[in-house]
Amino acid sequence: MLPPILPLSVVPVTSQQDPVRPRPDIPPVVPAQAAAGESAINLSDHDSEQATLLLREEQQRQQQKRRSEAEEQETQSPPDAEDAGPQLPAVDGTQRLGLWVDIKV
């Protein structure tokens, strides 16, 4: 079998012809050093105060939500059977609810 015919201007690319890339100069990673000023700050007090404030705000939101839900339930109480419709006269000794409809045949 014959090799493929390529023009003379085409040079085959191989890994040997790739240029060598230089390695970047990156300093090694070292653990963080404690600064002198950081030891004077007490973070535990700040965290507890912030946690207390967040807890208080969350409790207030929950109480407000409960109040609004209770008010909605009071205003949207289901109607009783007596309030469902107009009272009609008793027929055959039983009380009936509803509307009279006249039908012509």
Give the pLDDT confidence of 55-105 residue by residue, as tens digits.
Answer: 999 999 999 999 999 888 888 765 554 455 556 666 666 666 777 778 887
pLDDT at 43: 60
Indicate whether 54 belongs to any domain: yes
What is the domain range of residue 60? Answer: 43-72
* Residue given tokens 């039983």 in the structure block: 94
Name the β-bridge partners of 91. 94
User: Token match 């009279």: residue?
Assistant: 100
Burial 44-83 (b: 16+ CB within 10 A, else e): eeeeeeeeeeeeeeeeeeeeeeeeeeeeeeeeeeeeeeee
- Can you tell me which residue has the tokens 């039908």? 103
pLDDT at 81: 47
Number of domains in the chain: 1
Strand partners, 87: 97
CA separation for the pair 95, 88 (Å, rounded): 7
In a domain, 60, yes or no: yes
